[in-house]
Amino acid sequence: QVQLVESGGGLVQAGGSLRLSCAASGSTFSIIAMGWYRQAPGKQRELVATTSGGGTTNYADSVKGRFAISRDNAKATVYLQMDNLKPDDTAVYYCNIKFYGESGSYSSSWGRGTQVTVSS
C-alpha cells in the first residue's frame, strides 16, 4: 500500500499563490503517474493536473497558464505551484498516485485532501 501526505493548502487572496506538496511512501512501488484533483462544495471531483513517468503533463483548461505540476522522483513527491489564484479555485485538493505494487499489480491511492480557499 502507498500512503500520500499532502501539505501547503491555506487561505489566500485572489491573485496570490500557493504551492501544494504530496509525498508518497510505503511498500515497494513503481510510479505510473501522480496528479492533483479538486472538489468544490456541491461539485464532482475534477482533474487539475497530472504528470506521468515520462514527464508528460496534463492540465485542466481552467488552470492552464496559472498552475504548474512538477515531480521529484527521488523523493516520490509531486508539487503543484498555483499562481494568479481565483475564487473559483476554492476547493479541497486531493493528491492521487497510480502505481504498480510489489506484485506488479496496478493500483491507485488518494491523499486525504488539503483545503485551498481563495478570497475575492
pLDDT at 39: 98
Residue whose C-alpha cell reads 501522480 in the numeric block? 34
Where residue 78 falls (left for φ over 0; alpha for ψ -120 to 50; beta otherwise) is beta
pLDDT at 26: 87
Each residue's pLDDT expressed in tens, for the chain with a length of 120 residues: 899 999 999 999 999 999 999 999 987 788 899 999 999 999 999 999 999 978 899 999 999 999 999 999 889 999 999 999 999 999 999 999 999 988 888 999 999 999 999 999
- The rounded distance, in Å, linking the Cα atoms of 106 and 75 is 21
Instruction: Tally the residues of the chain.
Output: 120
Q: Count CB neighbours of 65 within 10 A.
A: 9
